[in-house]
Amino acid sequence: MTMAASEAVLRALSGGLPHTCCSDPCNNNWKSLLFFKSRVNCRNNGGSLYQKSKNCSRMLWKYTWINACQGEDVACYVETQRAKRLESMRFKCQRADSVSGVTANENLPPISRPVNTVGVTVNGNVASAATVREKSHKAHEGSVEEEAWDLLRASVVYYCGNPIGTIAANDPSDTSILNYDQVFIRDFIPSGIAFLLKGEYDIVRNFILYTLQLQSWEKTMDCHSPGQGLMPASFKVRTVPLDGDDSATEDILDPDFGEAAIGRVAPVDSGLWWIILLRAYGKCSGDLSVQERVDVQTGIKMILKLCLADGFDMFPTLLVTDGSCMIDRRMGIHGHPLEIQALFYSALLCAREMLAPEDGSADLIRALNNRLVALSFHIREYYWIDMKKINEIYRYKTEEYSYDAVNKFNIYPDQIPSWLVDFMPNRGGYLIGNLQPAHMDFRFFSLGNLWSIISSLATVDQSHAILDLIEAKWADLVTEMPFKICYPSLEGQEWRIITGSDPKNTPWSYHNGGSWPTLLWQLTVACIKMNRPKIAERAVKLAERRISRDKWPEYYDTKKARFIGKQARLFQTWSIAGYLVAKILLDNPSAARILVNEEDSELLNTLSDMINANPRRKRGRVGFKQPFIV
């Protein structure tokens, strides 16, 4: 191909940064072509850490040319052009506050390390972790809470001298750490909340601002680039020798958007969690300057645009691939899983609170309001089940072709699983895991239900009913260690087909009905919101009996949660942080307001008008006052 032809192809392919295509990315040097890095050339060659951080004169986007293009390969040529463009994208940054070149409010307190952490950064982690662990074992009789704080602090990751997140697990016995040495966005949320509640805001602010920088990273997998606005699932701080200087090192942020993750799963929940944490940071610290920054406002809008983009869907729920959230591998949760919908709803409400009113965002806010109304109606109406609803489904007529069908999604009553008949208490109910045409996933997914309470996606009555069910089914959902990630597990042929015979997700293990202590914090917030903290207290007491002795496992196995998970990491940070957040909130319940979304009365009115207008019968314009116009 001639260079002129290549130019034409490039023009056709690009529009901003190109979505390129190549024949076989694995065989044509594609992968080794370029490494894009966001670098801080932070010299780690002596001096105090604070001094080192001051010496960091530069955050720059940098690319390293590894292999030159051979011949006239189009993909290669396209990449060359892109690399040239990116070469000019250099940003200077000294502190998180000025990341992305936006000057921060000068009144912000300087970034500092937590006072009681010591140690030298090794691959972004703190070398003193082992010492803390040893100490904490000896002091086993001492307070579990104190031990948890020590361990949480030992998991802090530093970037150029500044605390920036916590690693997923700090397990010394682990021979295969996989990516558990990374900072996961979702895992950091309970850590961040614990630090906020303790009055240590810097780490959260840094996390928010540095992960924001990763949002606009060039991301590709096998020639495909996902939508702008995606937040990574995790990132790692790498400490590497500084180019051309043997005596110095530099810290590099290295994100994973799913392109290296097991199963290459898309981290849909990351951006949603990021927005939720940003609001919590503002509410807890009183520092609204972070959410008001231009780059942060842009970041919020990019996430919203990605989530609100038009697709083929007929439903207001967010359509996602399998493994796009806490359950990050194949578990039959592709489509419209509840967890993503609850986080989506919560993030929309949080974003609405934080978006600066300006002409440019009017359309976005309108779309957001419309989505909130439609989403809450859809979930409350179609995901909800209790004894009465199951009985309705049991008597459904099928194959109804009409605008006013009762069985809108054509659910065959035979789908009602036998376990559900025993599981559903007379008093109580819950939101099902997923709804698709001709398919209801009746499994109980804990995080989705708990976050539906916290975000007010569920009505007040539904929220109480979910807690009623948790109390009634304590022996199934909590048993010896809180809290089952989902109930029940998939077994036999179903397990083979749905998980793809995943040996990690065997019945009652890991994501397939395993018990995850980290869920304690979400349970606690939900219980506090509904003024029923005793339920959470009971669960925390149960966890306290063995969680420290068991070395803070990631998850427990078996139906009764009796064993530490067969492949569970020990000293799993979000197990530690989840416990801490639960403890702090139970001591000071009003602090839970930083996470809770109260029911919006305008939304409520619109919704009740919609329900009164009986959408089962009416099509098109329904007779209700609609304050939000598409």
Q: Contact positions toward ligand GLC, by CB under 6 A? A: 168, 184, 186-187, 326, 328
3-state secondary structure of 432: strand
CB of 275 to ligand GLC, least distance (A): 18
Residue 445 in contact with residue 483, Cβ under 8 Å?
no
**Minimum CB distance to ligand GLC smaller for 195 or for 571:** 571
**Minimum CB distance to ligand GLC smaller for 575 or for 606:** 575
**Minimum CB distance to ligand GLC smaller for 25 or for 553:** 553
Q: What is the DSSP letter of 367?
A: H
Give the amino acid at 583. Answer: K
Structure tokens at 222: 């096998």
Structure tokens at 587: 């001591």
Structure tokens at 358: 């300006």
CB of 443 to ligand GLC, least distance (A): 16
State which residue has the least CB distance to ligand GLC. 168
CB of 498 to ligand GLC, least distance (A): 16
**Minimum CB distance to ligand GLC smaller for 382 or for 571:** 571
**Minimum CB distance to ligand GLC smaller for 265 or for 284:** 265
Residue 135 in contact with residue 150, Cβ under 8 Å?
yes
- List the one residue out of 289, 296, 299, 280 whose CA is nearest residue 349: 280
CB of 260 to ligand GLC, least distance (A): 13
The sign of the CA dihedral 95, 96, 102, 108 is: negative
CB of 184 to ligand GLC, least distance (A): 4
CB of 328 to ligand GLC, least distance (A): 5
CB of 568 to ligand GLC, least distance (A): 10
Pairing of strands 384-386, 429-436: antiparallel
Q: What is the DSSP letter of 383?
A: I
Beta strands in 394-549 (DSSP E): 429-436, 439-445, 486-487
CB of 168 to ligand GLC, least distance (A): 4
3-state secondary structure of 319: coil
The residues, ordered by sequence, that sit 6+ positions from 453 with a Cβ below 8 Å of its Cβ are: 463, 466, 467, 526, 529, 530
Pairing of strands 563-564, 556-557: antiparallel
CA 432-434-435 angle, 5° bins: 105
500 alpha carbon, distance to own chain's centre: 24
> Distance (Å, rounded) from C-alpha 57 to C-alpha 43?
10
**Minimum CB distance to ligand GLC smaller for 282 or for 448:** 448
**Minimum CB distance to ligand GLC smaller for 180 or for 430:** 180
**Minimum CB distance to ligand GLC smaller for 161 or for 192:** 192
The sign of the CA dihedral 557, 558, 560, 564 is: negative
CB of 371 to ligand GLC, least distance (A): 25
**Minimum CB distance to ligand GLC smaller for 212 or for 233:** 233
Tell me the DSSP string of 77-144: HHHHHHHHHHHT-----SSGGGGGGPPPPTTSPPP---TT----EETTEETTHHHHHHHHHHTTTS-H
CA 50-56-62 angle, 5° bins: 150
CB of 413 to ligand GLC, least distance (A): 33
Residue 37's DSSP bridge partners are: 62
CB of 130 to ligand GLC, least distance (A): 20
- List the one residue out of 133, 139, 136, 180 whose CA is nearest residue 157: 180
Helix-strand-coil percent breakdown of the chain, rounded to 5? Answer: 45, 15, 40
CB of 389 to ligand GLC, least distance (A): 30
CB of 259 to ligand GLC, least distance (A): 16
- Name the strand (E) or helix (H) holding 351: helix 338-354
Residue 252 in contact with residue 38, Cβ under 8 Å?
yes
Question: What are the angstrom distances between the C-alpha of 551 and each of 117, 151, 262, 351, 505?
Answer: 21, 10, 25, 37, 22
**Minimum CB distance to ligand GLC smaller for 276 or for 326:** 326
CB of 236 to ligand GLC, least distance (A): 12
CB of 186 to ligand GLC, least distance (A): 5
**Minimum CB distance to ligand GLC smaller for 195 or for 377:** 195
Identify the burial level of 624 via C-beta atoms within 10 angstroms of its C-beta, where 0-12 means exposed, 13-18 middle and 19 or more buried: middle
The residues, ordered by sequence, that sit 6+ positions from 36 with a Cβ below 8 Å of its Cβ are: 61, 62, 63, 86, 217, 218
**Minimum CB distance to ligand GLC smaller for 61 or for 516:** 516
Give the amino acid at 403. Answer: Y
